[in-house]
Amino acid sequence: MKRFLPIIVSLVLALFVTTLSAAEIRCEGDYQYHLQGFASDGQSIFWTFTNVLVKTDLNGKKLQEVPVPSHHGDCCVVDGKVYVGTHLNWPSKGRTSWIYVYNCSDLSFVEKFSISEYDYDGVDGITFKDGFFYVCVGKDPDNPRPYNIILKMTPKFEKVAEFHLDGKTTYGVQTLTWSGGYFWAGTYSDLNTIQADENFNVVSTKNRGFSVGLFGLPASEKGEPRLMGAIHHRDEETKRNSATAVSVVFRDGKLVED
């Protein structure tokens, strides 16, 4: 049954796109910290608000939330589980870089994997492609390194390759997804969202910025790559954070709302 799962998920995501009740999805609720990433299994959306994991329906209505260690970063969904790049850096002691895993059904904790080689830098962006996870390594904002480290890892999070995505960013790649034959990397930088090929060679930069969440959707009718992109909102009066999401398509060399 597992080998048919990508086809089933693609069909459900296609239905997802055509059944949204509004052009913009708003995640119900507000939170202490900002959104770090989001993902969907085609039936629900999972949002990581740093120290809270939230499950909503496809229109953003909250179904469940659970407290999680800070900070939980970007996430992806594979075979009924949510995988979250996590850097336990408040405060930083001992093993700090992990992948935390939760059941999509009830957000119950399943297991965690240490990425100990990168405890100092932390990990954040994460996606899944062709049987492997791709995990983004963070970096200190003062680090002048002109590239971003991305690890190709087995389902047990054993490193099999390391890629360097060109571009000077703050904290590294924040969110990563594979869609339409490209990797899309959301960053805190004037590069905004970076488009890269399967070997992380840069194809384009300065696309519309989605540093707090991206996941792939089925291609447009013209075969163009399509994405859901998350947008951060902060209420300066209450000091609370929320998020919305929009569908975008890569058209004429840039990401535009679908």
pLDDT digit string, tens, across residues 79-134:
999 999 999 965 556 679 999 999 999 999 999 999 999 988 899 999 999 999 99
Measured at the alpha carbon of residue 142, what is the angle toward residues 121 and 182, in degrees to the nearest 5?
Answer: 60
Query: pLDDT, tens digit, for every residue of 54-92?
Result: 999 999 999 999 999 999 999 999 999 999 999 996 555
Tell me the fold of 2-257: Neuraminidase (2.120.10)
Closest by CA position to 39, among listed 74, 80, 7, 5: 74
Whole-model pTM: value is: 0.91
Query: pLDDT, tens digit, for every residue of 131-182?
Result: 999 999 998 888 899 999 999 999 999 999 999 999 999 999 999 999 999 9
CA dihedral 179, 208, 214, 224 (to 10 degrees): -20
Can you read off the two tokens belonging to residue 120?
Answer: 């100092």
Closest by CA position to 66, among listed 44, 51, 81: 51
pLDDT at 27 over 60: yes
Compute the distance between CA of residue 75 and CA of residue 214 in angstroms, rounded to an integer.
Answer: 9
CB 182, CB 195: distance < 8 Å: yes
pLDDT for 92 = 57
Compute the distance between CA of residue 21 and CA of residue 163 in angstroms, rounded to an integer.
Answer: 39
